[in-house]
Amino acid sequence: MKKILTYITLALAVGAFSVSCDFNEDPKSSASVDMMFSSEGGLQTYMYGFYEALPSRTGVYTLDSTTDYGPKNSVGGVEVGAFTDESETSWSWSNLRNINFFLEKNVNESLSEKVRNNYNGIARLFRAYFYYDKLVKYGPVPWIDWVFNSPEDERLMNTQDTRDVIIGHIIEDLDYAFNNIIESKATLNSSLVNKWTAMAFKSRICLFEAAWRKYHAGDQLDIARTGCTQFSANDLYTMAADAAKKVMDSGVYSIYTGTKYSNGRGAYRQLFIADNTVTQEVILAIVADETLCIGEQNWWYNSSTYGPHLGMSRKFAKSYLNIDGTPYNEKNEDGTFKTFKQETTGRDTRLNETIRAWDYTRKNSLGAYEATAANFTGHTLSGYQVTKWVIDDILYDDHSSNGNDEPLIRYAEMLLNYAEAKAELGTLSDGDWAQTIGTLRKRAGITGGTPQTGTLTTKPTEVEPYIASYYPGVTDPVILEIRRERAIELAYEGLRMTDLKRWACCNLWVDDPWEGIFVPALDEPLDINEDGVDDVYFTYGDIPSEFKGIGVKVGNGNSKNDVNLIAQPEGGYIMKYIKDREWPQRQYLYPIPKTVMQKNPNLKQNPGW
């Protein structure tokens, strides 16, 4: 019996021993917070996650798809009437939490302050980027620079802070980033930010806010309603100019004019189709790669089913100057319309580097370059087929296959920001003009100019009527020419809608008639690029079987969602794509979604919603 009791005691002792184990288990395949913040490798790993907030490689070249640049076959999406306070929106705050969490935890003193501050600088750069996006979309929003841990935190119910608070913090963040980010040279393929990226963003954002305050003064979106007094428009224009100037003076970046990447496509064009980023000019890029990280530029622009067939409008095409710097006239001396070949001859070279002009060639399936006109049967709605981002090779057309990198911020924008800010401040000199607009026009092959358009070294002194008709209400010839230059240089790069919003001229998107190229005749095969091969056969009626491959059935001016040909009194036709668009004033700002308002009734709805 004694023996038995011994056994039982022993057994219970084993049990008791096990009970005393603390039963704690730590994960091994994921890290603890302390681990992540205890080494520079950890900070770097976390930092790479910030980049997830940037547009994806299949998104950069689509950012300008809702603008006045040209027609597309669908106008849905967030910018138009379909958008209501009940739709899903981009009112997401997880990226901000991710950044604030980093800033809160990056305090491990075993790492040097310089190292920690470097990563804090990057984090704050991305916080500025986050708030800029919110500022553009929603106007004032709550400022948050802490991490919420409890659902009961009272600050969750905060209302919006003023635009002053937001822009003030953005500036503070970017200045901090500039002062603390260690990297000062261009990174590999400009895929990572450096201190100049912070300055470049500062220039972009201050210019946005400056213009918003100036051009929306007095309208229902007037900042006065939130009582902003800290920053005037001129303060912000000054900061925008200064920031741009810092980048210009850094010597790190310059306008690329070389042929290093060239295969005869032009220096400007190389920026968008080069396999590797032209780091001389591109400050930050989204990198694509044919095997690791594939883009879809060709597919998106050159497929009859994929992409919305974003094109260029006649109105915008006409704004490109002639090569000698004079304004373009769409008509010949006899009053007839210029043909497509005439239209795309002797112009600012950026036109021919942005669309399939008469001289456009690309590799066919055998690998040889051959003249290629716009594809009227499947791709283009206006005849001006955009090819800025597209590799000139048919091989890439029908599936994801692009490896050309995609610029997100370019040095050219700094020149334009500087010029615009100085012009708005009234302090732009001829020297400034030559250094900015002059430099860009020079690369575009422009040789001279007029008092209306300015020359390579002198700013304009008189209003050029065509560009003035573009921006009614703007009377300063310098500002007008800078806007022309900005629209052309940065076409389809994702900045246009923001520009239209800050200039308070989103109506341009609605008002553009979306006209296309001049079409000499109906019911006969046409050789648009004059290479000896028929490109298109327009008809109101049925397409004869021999022209099935190039036939386009068009309307005569009434068919919505369709290509039309409008007969001109001067003879011939102008293509026109008809689609309903609208831009009520309230759309300058997104509505705060209804569900968001329900969760926090202290938020104020944006005007008109």
Residues 9-28 that bind other proteins (CB under 8 A): 11-12, 14-15, 18-19, 21-28
Among 165-173, 186-194, 494-502, 569-577, the segment contacting other proteins (CB under 8 A): 186-194
Residue 111, CA atoms < 13 Å, CB-side half-sphere? 22
Strand stretches in 367-448, DSSP E = 369-371, 406-410
CB 382 within 8 A of CB 314: yes
Q: Which tokens belong to 412?
A: 């050219």
Phi then psi for residue 608, to 5 deg, are 90, -10
CB neighbours (10 Å) of residue 490? 18
Nearest distance in Å: CB 16, other proteins: 8
For other proteins, the closer CB: 71 or 593: 593
* Binders in 245-304 for other proteins, by CB under 8 A: 286-289, 291-294
List 115, 156, 394, 474, residue binding other proteins (CB under 8 A)? 156
Q: Which two tokens stand for residue 515?
A: 């006209």
Name which of 305 and 558 has its Cβ closer to other proteins. Answer: 305
Nearer to other proteins, 49 or 465 (CB): 49
Site for other proteins in 470-489 (CB under 8 A): none
Helical H segments across 187-296, by residue range: 195-215, 233-250, 267-273
Render the burial of 87-98: b for 16+ CB within 10 Å, e for the rest.
eebeeeeebbeb
Q: Please tell me whether residue 560 binds other proteins under the rule CB under 8 A.
A: no
Residue-level length of the chain: 609
Q: Identify whether the C-beta of residue 177 lies closer than 8 Å to the C-beta of residue 125.
A: yes
List the interface residues with other proteins, window 28-87 (CB under 8 A): 28-33, 35-36, 45-49, 51-52, 54, 56-57
Cβ 71 to other proteins shortest distance, Å: 21
- Tell me if 144 contacts other proteins by CB under 8 A: yes
Q: Looking at beta carbons only, is 91 or 609 nearer to other proteins?
A: 91
**Alpha carbons 126 and 121: distance in angstroms, whole number:** 9
- In terms of CB distance, is 147 or 371 closer to other proteins? 147
Q: Tell me which of 65, 66, 67, 98 binds other proteins, using CB under 8 A.
A: 98
Q: Give 17 or 114: the residue with its C-beta nearer to other proteins.
A: 17
Q: How far is the CB of 555 from other proteins (least distance, A)?
A: 16
DSSP state of 437: I
* CB closer to other proteins out of 55 and 607: 55
Residue 273 Cβ vs other proteins, minimum distance, rounded to whole Å: 17
Q: How many amino acids of this chain bind other proteins (CB under 8 A)?
A: 75
The pairing of beta strand 369-371 with beta strand 406-410: unpaired
Q: In angstroms, what is the minimal distance from the CB of 143 to other proteins?
A: 10
Residues 589-608 that bind other proteins (CB under 8 A): 596, 599-600
CB 298 within 8 A of CB 58: no
CA separation for the pair 585, 56 (Å, rounded): 30
Q: Nearest approach, Cβ of 592 to other proteins (angstroms)?
A: 10
Between residues 394 and 522, which has the closer beta carbon with respect to other proteins? 394
Largest Cα span, the chain: 126
Q: Which of 38, 39, 191, 559 binds other proteins (CB under 8 A)?
A: 191
Q: Which stretch binds other proteins (CB under 8 A): 62-70, 146-154, 211-219, 421-429?
A: 146-154
Measured from the Cβ of residue 335, the count of other Cβ atoms closer than 10 Å reads 9
Rounded to 5°, the CA angle 579-354-557 comes to 25
Alpha helices (H) along 71-112: 94-105
> Closest distance between other proteins and the C-beta of residue 398, in Å?
7
The one among 109, 110, 114, 149 contacting other proteins by CB under 8 A: 149
Which of 81, 82, 112, 157 binds other proteins (CB under 8 A)? It is 157
Structure tokens at 585: 């004033």
Nearest by Cα to 498 from 164, 209, 232, 90: 209
Cα separation, 520 vs 74, whole angstroms? 28
Which residues fall within 8 angstroms of residue 548, CB to CB, at 6 or more apart? none
- Indicate the residue among 287 and 312 with the shorter CB distance to other proteins: 287
> Does 189 sit near other proteins (CB under 8 A)?
yes
Among 70, 139, 142, 445, binds other proteins (CB under 8 A): 142
**What DSSP letter does each residue of 116-172 carry, written as one string?**
HHHHHHHHHHHHHHHHHHHHHHHSS-----S----TT-GGGG--PPPHHHHHHHHHH
Would you say 290 or 330 has its CB closer to other proteins?
290
Residue 567 host element (H or E): strand 562-567
Scanning 148-156, 248-256, 346-354, 485-493 for contacts with other proteins by CB under 8 A, the matching segment is 148-156
DSSP 590: P
Taking CB under 8 A as the binding criterion, the range among 5-13, 307-315, 329-337, 520-528 that sits at the site for other proteins is 5-13
- Closer residue to other proteins (CB): 235 or 289: 289
CA distance 547 to 403: 36
Kindly report the number of other CB atoms within 10 A of residue 17's CB atom: 9
Q: Please check whether residue 593 is in contact with residue 85, taking contact to mean a CB–CB distance below 8 angstroms.
A: yes
Residue 148 binding other proteins, by CB under 8 A:
yes
Chain residues 205-244 in contact with other proteins, contact rule CB under 8 A: none
Looking at residues 99 to 138 of the shown chain, list those that interact with other proteins (rule: CB under 8 A): 100-102
Q: How far is the CB of 58 from other proteins (least distance, A)?
A: 10
Distance of closest approach, residue 280 Cβ to other proteins, in angstroms: 18
Residues 371-430 that bind other proteins (CB under 8 A): 398-401
DSSP state of 261: T
Q: What gap in Å lies between CA 71 and CA 314, rounded to an integer? A: 10
Within 10 angstroms of residue 14's Cβ, the number of other Cβ atoms is 10
Question: Judged by CB under 8 A, which stretch of 92-100, 206-214, 236-244, 495-503 contacts other proteins?
Answer: 92-100
Phi-psi sector, 379: left (phi>0), alpha (psi -120 to 50), beta: alpha
Q: 183 or 235, CB closer to other proteins?
A: 183
**Cβ closest to other proteins, residue 36 vs residue 463:** 36
Footprint on residues 440-469 left by other proteins (CB under 8 A): none
Segment 336 to 365, residues that bind other proteins, using CB under 8 A: none
